[in-house]
Amino acid sequence: MTRTRRELVGRALFWAVIVVIAIYLLFPFYWAINSSLKTEAQLQMTPGTFVPRAPGTDDISITLQNYSAVFQNDRFLTGLKNSVIVAVSTTIISLVVGSFAAFALGKLRFRGKQPSLYLILSMTMFPQVAVLTGLYAVIATLQIPAIPSMILSYMLFTLPFTTWVMTSFFEGLPNELMLSAQVDGATPFQTFYMILLPLTLPALVTTGLLAFINAWNEYLFALTFTTIEPDARTVPVAIALFTGQISFQEPFGEIMAAAIVVTIPLLVLVLIFQKKIMAGLTAGAVKG
Amino acid sequence: MSAESVPVDKNHEPVKPKKRGISELAKREERLAYILLIPTLVILFIIAFYPLGSVFYNSLTDRQFASAQEPQFVGLANYSNLLSVTLIELEPEIDDAGQIIRDPETGEIDYPPVVSVLPREPRRYREFTQFGLFGSQYVIGATDPEFMRAIYDTMAFTVITVILETVLGLGIALVVNSEFKGRGMMRVVMLVPWAIPTAVSSRMWEWMFKDTRAGFFNILFQRLGFGSGQIPFLVDQSWQLPAMIAIDVWKTTPFMALLLLAGLQLIPSDLYEAADVDGAGKLRQFWSVTLPLLRPTLAVALVFRTLDAVRVFDLFQIVLAQSRYSMASFAYYRLIDAQQMGYSSAASVVIFFIIFVFAILYIRMLGVSND
């Protein structure tokens, strides 16, 4: 009797902890949704309500005006477009270039392999801010427009990561695959793109997802390089500098709506690919 | 027949076809490897090594951005401007009778204004902080108190967030590691804060920290009987850093937990079974099995988090702008607002070295734990 009771209490405690953790992690997101559904007047109500309620009465009253304002905001829409262009290009280029390098590092024998490997590994810890002024000068001198310069500079963190993870993946593929392809008369490069590359598809998806998310979320370079070219701003910069169409005050209702709009594609990615993302995160960290 | 099929060269000496084939192949392989590596190395040269070199070089000049003025070589002047500190004991003011002057109302000792005490030549020092020790009053002066504050704040931010995130992350990892229904869902939930762009989560929290009871934290604090419901979290000096820490801990703890969870799952379960047989309690199992085996993962997670925290930018720039800097946002504003490329570069180099030192320290620690 006492034993089952103790087990029951234990289980209840356990679930209480789980619920507390889940609430802690989700609450700011909930509060943003809640605020995005309020009018300016409802946002200024004190104390703020946990669901959108009409001032005066306590009826629940939800508005979608913040969302329609966000979708009519040209700066935000341009930001979305820019973010897609930048993040997709960064991902594709770093996957192509990175898997070339990774194949060389993981499967080919050559002199200088160890130093190259360490060089690239050390790059994964490279602080972006350390090259900020230098990179800004390079871009200004070469007069590269903001969007290509973001794509180029994001390689600073996506390329070493992609190369590193893909290298360890290539290393894991059996050598016999290469040998038997060579016996059949394939050149090493043919072996690479006809036999090994298809096998690394799962790793490509994983690293690609992480590269995409990192590029989508990047802020420092995006903010710096679009200083004189506001039309090239990506979503994080647009949200950080968000101002309303009319109101002088910071329109937090619209900002929250924009935040939700930006976050939802990421959440969908996470829901679909959670296993792959986890694998990529731990490959980057646990093996690093 | 078989003798004739062996290839013979012009001097009628049999060659070793196998060996030549292999070395030929090896050469081709090596050439291919270099060709494949070139794009990566060229890109990294353009965006990392060359800019880093120019940052080091610029840090020794007074270069202004977008200015026609020829930059002058100034040696280490930028660094001494950034980093000079001085400690001076304040002498109490004494009246004509040789008595220490005290404030007539509070009875506290009157000190002269620090401006009169701090050196003005060759560089002007400004007050960084004052403190009392063993009955004496001291002032710390710095040539750039803002950068000193940025270093101090960033370090405090780093140490506190990393500790909190590790402890909380480990706790969450241990809970989620046990079998229960909805564990998969829980992991998705844990990825949410990580996946949201920092720019976005910073604005979400900025709104929760609003200085009226429209903000969540003012509602919460007032309900708990703390504060008037008007706490200006993001303006009040003493609340700014805790607010930054709260945001970062929320965003990064789940990431830490996920890494540690991956580490926990590498621990073979028969170790726990053996410990059960030996009659070791849960707590004992944690200390003698879990923690030692988790150490490599824990170490790597710590490295990643620390290096990330030292270079924190998004959070400080978005929420606090120029009212309080992290080291990175200081460098950013010196570059973009003040156009002081040389000075900003010097600040970047300082950040680079601090991160470098942390990295070396950690590599040492990891090396030791590997033995």
Q: Are residues B214 and B351 in the same domain?
A: yes
Taking contacts as CB-CB distances below 8 angstroms, the residues of chain A near B313 are 129, 219-220
Average pLDDT, chain A: 87
Q: Are residues B252 and B103 in the same domain?
A: no
Residues 6+ apart with CB under 8 A from B223: none
Alpha carbon distance, N-terminus to C-terminus of chain B = 61
Q: Are residues B262 and B306 in the same domain?
A: yes
> Which of B95, B125, B143 is at the close of a domain?
B143
Note the pLDDT of residue A247: 53
Q: Are residues B210 and B351 in the same domain?
A: yes
The sheet carrying B136-142 orders its strands as B85-90, B136-142, B126-133
> Which of B120, B143, B166 is at the close of a domain?
B143
Question: Would you say residue B76 has pLDDT above 50?
Answer: yes
Q: Are residues B282 and B304 in the same domain?
A: yes
Note the pLDDT of residue A287: 44
Is residue B50 in some structural domain?
Answer: no
pLDDT band at B21 (very low <50, low <70, confident <90, very high): low
Average pLDDT over residues B198-202: 93
Number of domains composing chain B = 2
Question: Would you say residue B136 has pLDDT above 90?
Answer: no
Tokens of B75: 């040696």
Q: How far is B346 from chain A (nearest CA, A)?
A: 9
Residue-range domain boundaries for chain A: 1-63, 65-286
Q: Are residues B114 and B151 in the same domain?
A: no
Flag the least confident range among A195-199, B9-13, B149-153.
B9-13
Is residue B70 in some structural domain?
Answer: no
CB contact under 8 A, B40 and A44: no
Chain B residue with CA closest to A21: the answer is B172
pLDDT tens-digit series, residues A188-206? 788 888 888 888 888 888 8
Rounded to two decimals, what is the model's pTM? 0.87
Is residue B19 in some structural domain?
Answer: no
Average pLDDT over residues A179-185: 83
Q: Are residues B246 and B343 in the same domain?
A: yes
Percent of chain A with pLDDT over 70: 95
Average pLDDT over residues B120-134: 81
Is residue B71 in some structural domain?
Answer: no
Out of A100, A134, A235, the one facing B36 most closely (by C-beta) is A100
Question: Would you say residue B5 has pLDDT above 70?
Answer: no
Domain topology for A65-286: MetI-like fold (1.10.3720)
Q: Are residues B135 and B266 in the same domain?
A: no
pLDDT tens-digit series, residues A108-132? 889 988 898 888 878 877 788 889 8
Q: How many CB atoms lie within 10 A of CB B103?
A: 9
| Coil, helix or strand at residue B197 | coil
Q: Helix/strand/coil (H, E, C) string of chain A?
A: CHHHHHHHHHHHHHHHHHHHHHHHHHHHHHHHHHHHCCCHHHHHCCCCCCCCECCCCCCECCCCHHHHHHHCCHHHHHHHHHHHHHHHHHHHHHHHHHHHHHHHHHHCCCCCHHHHHHHHHHHCCCCHHHHHHHHHHHHHHHCCCHHHHHHHHHHHHHHHHHHHHHHHHHHHCCHHHHHHHHHCCCCHHHHHHHHHHHHCHHHHHHHHHHHHHHHHHCCHHHHHHCCCCHHHCCHHHHHHCCCCCCCCCCCHHHHHHHHHHHHHHHHHHHHHHHHHHHHHHHHHHHCC
Determine contact: A288 vs chain B, CB below 8 A: yes
What CATH number does the domain containing B348 carry?
Answer: 1.10.3720.10
pLDDT tens-digit series, residues B223-243? 898 888 889 999 999 999 999
| Coil, helix or strand at residue B361 | helix
CB contact under 8 A, A97 and B39: yes
Quote the ipTM score.
Answer: 0.89
Tokens of B209: 């920290």
Q: How many CB atoms lie within 10 A of CB A22?
A: 16
Q: Does residue B344 come out as left (phi exceeding 0), alpha (psi in the -120 to 50 range) or beta?
A: alpha
Average pLDDT over residues A97-112: 91
Instruction: Domain of residue B126: give its range.
Output: 85-143
Distance of alpha carbon B241 from alpha carbon B249, whole angstroms:
12
